[in-house]
Each structure stands twice: as structure tokens, then as C-alpha cells.
Amino acid sequence: MLDNLKKIEQEVIACTRCPRLVEYRCRIAEQKRRAYRDWEYWGKPVPGFGDPKARLLVIGLAPAAHGGNRTGRVFTGDSSGDLLYATLYQCGFSNQPQAVSRNDGLRLRGAYITAAARCAPPGNKPSPEEFRNCREYLEREINLLRDVQVVVALGKIAFDAYLSILRNRGLIASRAQKSPRHENRAVATTRTSFHFAHGAVYKFPPPLPALIASYHPSRQNTQTGKLTRVMFLGVFRKAREQADEG
């Protein structure tokens, strides 16, 4: 059977490869948070979401215990998603700025959102083995999303996960000692090292899409001022430009 996004979605939802994560997400779904005691938690792995013809691919870390693990949709129902979807809407990638449930009418326009890990992990820290178990799903999504012109990696873990896939496919070289140029815009060839820095842009020979690094829109980053709305908007304005150039 030919692969497709619906098939990946079904396989993700049914996945039980990581016993620690299965136990944790199910326990959270049973215990719930007081503010959501009337919710029926999703409590399963969370698949990617968006437009099959996406020109923008957004990669996050993993579902939040009381966000995606509760709502069943990536970056939905938590503060990270509040900022992400409001920004996507402002840049023309979605039909509305709010994301509260799977049935809220949200539609992505030219964008697809996924994650390096599909289950809510304890302490927001999947193990290396758990990342490896999930990697296949991200690789298959990348294969199928053939119109992508730009990838935005939310956080260093997502950034490294994406680059690791490119390296394993022989599409980029291993890390070199040379550092990228910084003029608020880092341009890389296949022989340049890849340094995670908010707003850095790496361009590759066609047909590989450009890669933009961003701090994760976590509450820890936004409440400390490490990531502001203006900074985050700047990343997605760059992504809009890259998507429109292709």
C-alpha cells in the first residue's frame, strides 16, 4: 500500500512503542488537571496536522501533557499553541488565531505542524530511544510533503532532529568547524556547520527547503522574555517570504 498522511496518522495514534510514554500519557489522561476535570483527555500519541500541500513545515518537540495530550491535536490547548496559532494566522497560514480543540474549525493554509516525538513525555524530555522510535513518522511525513519550501524548527531538539534526518540521507555533510555568518540571517551550504540560533536561516541546494531556527514558544521562554511575540512573528514572516519564493 502506498504511504499517505492518513495512514501515518492512524499508525501514530495506535503506537505503543515506548512503554514509559504509554504509561505517562495514560496516567495524565486519567488524573487530569483540575481546570480540565470535565474534559475527556485524548491520552494517545498525537499525529501531525495540516495542509497536505503545505509549503511550510513546523516541527515541535512533543505534545504537552495537558495540551495536545488532552485535545488530541498538536500545539492545541496550551500557551505554546496560543502563540503559535495566533502567529500563523497573522502570517496567513491559518483561518483563525485560536486552537482549543480538534473540533474548533481551525484549518491550516499552506502549513503542516508535526513533532519530533508524538507522546507527552515526563518533564518534556523524551529519551534518545523514544526519539528514535518516533523518527520514522517524521521521516515519512517529510517524504510526503513534497511542496515544502521552508521548515521552521521550534527549539534545538526539533532543529537537531531535522538535521539528523538530512545527514542520515546523505543530503548534508557532517558538522564542520566553520561557523555560519550572522547578519540576523545565517546562510549555509552543505559544508557549513549548523548552529542553533533564534531566527537563523539556512539555505540548501534545491530541492531541499530552507530551514529557520526558532526558540520554542514554551511558557518558560515567553515568561522570561527569552522569546517575545515580536521575535516569534519575525521568524514566521521570514517563513512566509521563503514559502512565497518557491
Neighbouring-strand partners of residue 108? 94
Number of domains the chain contains: 1
pLDDT at 2: 85
Contact 110, 100 (CB under 8 A): no
Neighbouring-strand partners of residue 57? 112, 151
pLDDT at 184: 42
Quick one: pLDDT band at residue 175, thresholds 50, 70, 90?
A: low
Q: What angle do CA 167, 170, 176 make, to 5 degrees?
A: 55
The whole domain housing 57 covers 5-245
pLDDT digits (tens, 9 = 90+) for 192-239: 589 999 999 999 999 999 999 999 999 999 999 999 999 999 999 999
Output the domain CATH number for residue 12: 3.40.470.10
pLDDT digits (tens, 9 = 90+) for 108-150: 999 999 999 999 999 999 999 999 999 999 999 999 999 999 9
